[in-house]
Structure 1
Amino acid sequence: MFNLLNILSQLNFLSPSNLGRLCLAIRQNGVNLMLLFSLTEKTGGQKTALVDSRGTLNYEELQKRSEHLASLLAERYGIVKGHKVAFFCKNHAAFVQGIFAASRLGADIYLLNCSMSQLQFDRLVQEHRFDFLIYDEEFSGLIEKSSYQHAKLVSYHETHESINRLSTSVPHRKDKLTASSSGKVVLLTGGTTGKPKQVVHRPSLFNFLNPFAALLNRLQLPTYNTAYIATPIYHGYGIAVLLSFLALGKKVIIQESFDAKNACALIRQHQVEVVTVVPLMVHKMLKHDQEALGSLVCIASGGAKLNPVLVSEVTHHLGNVLYNLYGTSEAGLNIIATPKDLYDHPDTLGKAISGSHLQVVVDGKEVEPGRIGQFCIRNKWSMKNSPNLWIQTGDMGYRDENGYYFLCGRTDDLIISAGNNIYPSEIEAALCNHPSVEDVVVIGVDDVYAGQILKAFVQLYADNKMTEEALLSWLRTRVAAYQIPREITFVEKLPYTPVGKLDRRRVQTMTRVED
């Protein structure tokens, strides 16, 4: 109850007039994402809501376009509650309007990863049998090669029927849409390899009070005016932060893809205060133009491990502005590290948020602080298609006696060499402290005698030279003898996935930089 009152107060819902407006909106439209506009239509409708590469929408325009789109999707395509509406879109206003419209109709929303392969898309079409597909034109070829046969609508087109054209059209129907509550939101996780996992979340105000309150309070979001979401909306992290910012009536900037030069220009132009990123994005922006980032007071990093070296660089150049968010698609947001936490422990994930129950487990049993095990999580806002109350994250780490959590790697990152259990993260962090090393990854290579041996792939800063012997000699004073790689391979660039995670599978195929 305290979190509910706290959130309603920060959203300015506690006045009698605003509570009345909220109740009226629920009665007329149902409980869905369109409720976010119940205040802005009166108190902030002319405020800028969304900025993308095509233009700017204020809150009144975003609401009207989403309402028109919902009516036309129902009128022309027969979309009703329970239909499966899939989105194959990058970050832009049409995608956001489509999500609001589908939610207003009570449809189940499926968010597809834009980096998926033809095989993955074919599999999803067969397994889920979508009723309607909203997509970007660049994915037309992939869709045409699939077995998808149902109705579809492109996000943008100058002459053909599209989301952008429908949202600015006036519906013919005179009767209002019946009230409808949101269906489920399904995140189809996974990158370019492997089978995507289905993660189902059922929108519920009460279920999501704790993570929303954590974002409001620990990141102090209500105090800021402008946010730039650089991470994909189709990830749980992206859509959660987008809806949080819109609920607060902020100006939100989105772009279809991330480019460090463009990102720095946007931050400078709009005097962005909050940016959501993966660590690689922060690194690239600092490297391109750190002066352009001077307006930032909250950098919310998530989606990948945050290196202590990067924490130090951000603090040195920008001050105490970096936050580390830990969550998974299945379990949602669960841990946050504030700038103070990162100052004291640069390698921490932070502390658990209220309502999140975390255990560090080995062989099915919770272990004592300091011992490495798998993170298992139970909360009210995790996925609803799992029969288990506790979700096994696949992440390995430990909790210290003060309640701080530390990530060591994935369960499949564990390297067993000559009987020693080795997690690459500690070795990678040590190597990244060398002034010539920009990036590094350590993997295990099969060995007849040791089981596995360590091999490091190292990316040096431009114009830096380093021999394998010199780097190994430097490393020997910083890690245990069993953590020393048998071989170091220098590479021009390490591979990352489209969402900024190190692609360890592709590392195996990398070759040495030519001398």
Structure 2
Amino acid sequence: MTDDALFPPDWADRDALIIEPSGVRVTFGELESRSNAIAHLFRARGLMSGSTIALVMENRAEFLVISWAAQRAGLYYVGVNSHLTAPETEYILRDSGASALFTSAALLDIADAAAPEVPHRFVVDAFGERSGWEELDAVLGEFPTNPIPDQREGDFLLYSSGTTGRPKGIQRPLAGGPLGSYPDPPGRWLRELLGFQAGDVYLCPAPLYHAAPLGWSMGVHRSGGTVVVLERFDAERALDVIQRHRVTHAQWVPTMFVRMLKLAPEIRDRYDMSSLRMAIHSAAPCPVEVKRAMIDWWGPILFEFYSSTEGMGATAIFSEEWLRKPGSVGRPLLGRPLILDDDGRELPTGEIGTVWFDGGTSFRYRGDPGRSAAVVDSSGRATVGDLGYLDEDGYLFLSDRRTDLIISGGVNIYPREIEDVLILHPAVLDVAVIGLPDPDLGRRVVAVIQPTASGAVEVDELLEHCRTRLARYKMPREIRFTEQLPRTPTGKLRKHLISDEPS
């Protein structure tokens, strides 16, 4: 390694990555040399600072290795949800302007169908032959493993849906500074708030294409820690991994808590959790009784933060505070939360309104200046449309995560996208997609269908219609029928009335 190395030479033999259950390991020395070689590949293919690459792959070591190569080459890197269909993936690749795409043999068919316009395409496994694709290892042999001479900090560019149902790229301006100048809020929070030290071990049980798993894993690497990545979440396996790897910090969504709590007591008691010093959770509101049960089980080591991919602000709360303020998502960690009414006036303590943040991170929705302008006011305050209130001590409580958004298993699901698919069925006159309470997922996706006068239709037929057009996690878990959906005279759907209807 050289003075321009991302990771210090004395870390070279430590594990940077462990993938479970496959057991694949990558040391810091290997992460340094391999990310350097890929950065040289970027430059050889004409990708300079500000260019964009995309990754369509499952949780595996190459996801983070390639992300680090893009980070040190000053690129934007797009983690594409690996469960999307080819048309959904193609939209993101086209909208992001990706110049290179990396995928795995398992997802090659979807990536191939989605990427006709991407000029540089690589597979991280041996895959035989496919026109237009190169095997990454075969290409990298010709490139050096020392740093490129023009290293610059890059950033991720991740997608979440907007009000139209189309995914929106959340793009932050590149600072373009030298390595080490990246703001890295997760790394700072780990070190300064959560006691993370070089040599500690972090468990990532969630998909790396999400902002928190990706950002926090890279923050762990900057802090000299080992990231253990689950290929997919399994409740008992997570406990086993904590015990075997002596995990010190782990990040969760509430659905994972539910599934671990539902394990038989004799299974839960089988595993030693004593190494775990901090359990971080976010992504969805955690039911009060679920969080209380986790604190009873693991002790007061839960740390909850509320934020968004946009990075417009954040709050956080430790267990001791939460036990005094059950249900709160904490006090300011980034920016300052404000509760405003629909006219932009600040509301008094305890009154519910829209949550805005002042002083957070700058961002824009790629290719959608109208959407960007709609969430940032003339004073620079920003919102994602969540509702909540502040108590007398400045603690934030959320009342809803956007009016129509469904958070199922910690994943954001946007009803409009599903509605736009179902309305195309010839027997559907009108449709509304809502989220109803679910003991496991938090909310489940329910489609309420108003058929045409002559449109007799079976549930299986509607599900099959959706199956070829939507990712599996977006599929309705229940379909109901109604004679008339409640709309206002102006055509606005009154979804809260649908939620009150019996099943």
TM-score with structure 2 setting the length: 0.70
Deviations 1:168-215 (A, max 9, x none): x352x6997331313443111249x93111101245567736664333
Work out the CA distance in 1 between the residues paired with 2:153 and 2:349: 41
Deviations 1:26-50 (A, max 9, x none): xxxxxxxx63x1x2x1x32212111
**Contact 2:313–2:337 under 8 Å retained in 1:** no
Work out the CA distance in 2 between the residues paired with 1:165 and 1:244: 30
Work out the CA distance in 1 between the residues paired with 2:165 and 2:383: 19
Deviations 1:99-123 (A, max 9, x none): 1112233322222222323332232
Give the alignment partner of residue 506 of structure 1, picking from 465, 476, 487: 476
- The residue aligned with 1:494 is none
Q: Which amino acid aligns with 1:182?
A: E
Work out the CA distance in 2 between the residues paired with 1:81 and 1:249: 26
Work out the CA distance in 2 between the residues paired with 1:227 and 1:105: 25
Alpha carbons of structure 1 residues 154 and 456: separation in structure 2 relative to 1, 3 Å: closer
Give the alignment partner of residue 403 of structure 1, picking from 387, 394, 398: 394
Partner secondary structure for residue 157 of structure 2: strand
1:139-154, aligned counterparts within 5 Å?
A: 139-146=107-114, 148-149=116-117, 150-154=119-123
**Contact 1:394–1:411 under 8 Å retained in 2:** yes
**Contact 1:69–1:101 under 8 Å retained in 2:** yes
Alpha carbons of structure 1 residues 455 and 174: separation in structure 2 relative to 1, 3 Å: closer
- 1:337: how far off? 1.0
1:281-360, aligned counterparts within 5 Å?
A: 281-288=256-263, 289-291=267-269, 292=271, 294-295=273-274, 296-331=276-311, 334-353=314-333, 355-360=334-339
Percentage of identical aligned residues: 21
Give the alignment partner of residue 15 of structure 2, picking from 36, 48, 59: 48
Work out the CA distance in 2 between the residues paired with 1:120 and 1:94: 23
Partner secondary structure for residue 506 of structure 1: coil
Work out the CA distance in 2 between the residues paired with 1:335 and 1:275: 18
**Contact 1:132–1:151 under 8 Å retained in 2:** yes
Which structure carries more helix by proportion? 1
**Contact 1:120–1:195 under 8 Å retained in 2:** no
- Figure out how many residues of one structure are paired with residues of the other and give that number: 397
Give the alignment partner of residue 193 of structure 2, picking from 199, 205, 218: 218
Q: Which moved more, 1:283-292 or 1:399-408?
A: 283-292
- 1:70: how far off? 2.1
Deviations 1:114-145 (A, max 9, x none): 23233322322333332110112232222333
Unaligned runs of 5+ in 2: 366-371, 408-414, 416-431, 442-472, 482-503
Alpha carbons of structure 1 residues 333 and 239: separation in structure 2 relative to 1, 3 Å: farther
Alpha carbons of structure 1 residues 222 and 170: separation in structure 2 relative to 1, 3 Å: same
Q: Which amino acid aligns with 1:309?
A: E
1:35-434, aligned counterparts within 5 Å?
A: 35=6, 37=7, 39=8, 41=9, 43-52=10-19, 53-75=22-44, 77-146=45-114, 148-149=116-117, 150-157=119-126, 161-163=134-136, 169=141, 171=143, 177-190=148-161, 194-202=165-173, 204=175, 208=183, 212-222=187-197, 225-288=200-263, 289-291=267-269, 292=271, 294-295=273-274, 296-331=276-311, 334-353=314-333, 355-363=334-342, 364-385=344-365, 386-387=372-373, 388=376, 389-413=380-404
Alpha carbons of structure 1 residues 401 and 151: separation in structure 2 relative to 1, 3 Å: same
Deviations 1:396-432 (A, max 9, x none): 1111010111111133159xxxxxxxxx99xxxxxxx
**Contact 1:362–1:374 under 8 Å retained in 2:** yes
Work out the CA distance in 2 between the residues paired with 1:242 and 1:508: 35
Unaligned runs of 5+ in 1: 1-20, 26-33, 415-423, 426-442, 444-451, 462-502
Q: CA RMSD in A?
A: 3.5
TM-score with structure 1 setting the length: 0.69
Q: Which moved more, 1:285-294 or 1:369-378?
A: 285-294
Q: Which moved more, 1:230-239 or 1:202-211?
A: 202-211
Work out the CA distance in 2 between the residues paired with 1:456 and 1:131: 40
Work out the CA distance in 2 between the residues paired with 1:163 and 1:49: 21
Work out the CA distance in 1 between the residues paired with 2:435 and 2:287: 19
Q: Which amino acid aligns with 1:242?
A: S
Work out the CA distance in 2 between the residues paired with 1:224 and 1:313: 30
Partner secondary structure for residue 374 of structure 1: strand
Q: Which amino acid aligns with 1:315?
A: I
- The residue aligned with 2:418 is none
Deviations 1:204-253 (A, max 9, x none): 56773666433333322238711111122222211221121111111110
Work out the CA distance in 2 between the residues paired with 1:408 and 1:504: 23
Work out the CA distance in 2 between the residues paired with 1:147 and 1:241: 29
- 1:455: how far off? 10
Q: Which amino acid aligns with 1:129?
A: G
Q: Which amino acid aligns with 1:74?
A: R
**Contact 1:372–1:398 under 8 Å retained in 2:** yes
Q: Which amino acid aligns with 1:134?
A: F
Work out the CA distance in 2 between the residues paired with 1:138 and 1:375: 41
1:429-508, aligned counterparts within 5 Å?
A: 459=439, 506=476
